[in-house]
Amino acid sequence: MPISLGSVQLKIMRVLWSEGKASARQITETLSEEKPIAHSTVQTLLRQLEGKRAVTHEREDRTFVFRPLIKESEVTKSVAQDLLSRVFQGSISGLVAHLLESEEVTPEEMERLQKLVREKSQEVEK
């Protein structure tokens, strides 16, 4: 079951992941800091997310409070896998090659990356 979210849906989820729970209103306000969005839009998207079992809600006073049902890692995983298979035919090195060429990469980032790869290599080795 591939979890597929649109870009605004993802932003909503991100608020929920970082806050743990939030009302529609809170989400609207958080998202609006960056770029205004109508409250009703957020509500519609929350219902869509509920439809695909990504969130749930419970009443608190008269307000719905939403909670994420899926973990961030599940989503990022499926999105990344989808990209990988669709665009790079499964080649991680192909993807990374592109990214390294086209992005500004800080030395710290390279450090982390190297460490990751080194560790993983150990495992695969034997």
| Of the residues 41, 76, 85, 91, which one makes contact with DNA according to CB under 7 A | 41
CB atoms within 10 A of CB 100: 11
Distances (CA, A) of 114 to 25, 106, 110, 118, 120: 42, 12, 6, 6, 10
Instruction: Considering the complex, state which of residue 23 and residue 30 has its C-beta at the smaller distance from DNA.
Output: 23
Q: Which residues does 59 contact at the CB level (< 8 Å), separation at least 6?
A: 65
Binding of residue 76 to its own copies (CB under 8 A): yes
CB 8, CB 45: distance < 8 Å: yes
| Of the residues 10, 29, 43, 56, which one makes contact with its own copies according to CB under 8 A | 10
Binding of residue 47 to DNA (CB under 7 A): yes
Site string for its own copies, 16-55 (x = CB under 8 A): ----------------------------------------
Q: Which of residues 64-93 bind DNA (CB under 7 A)?
A: 64
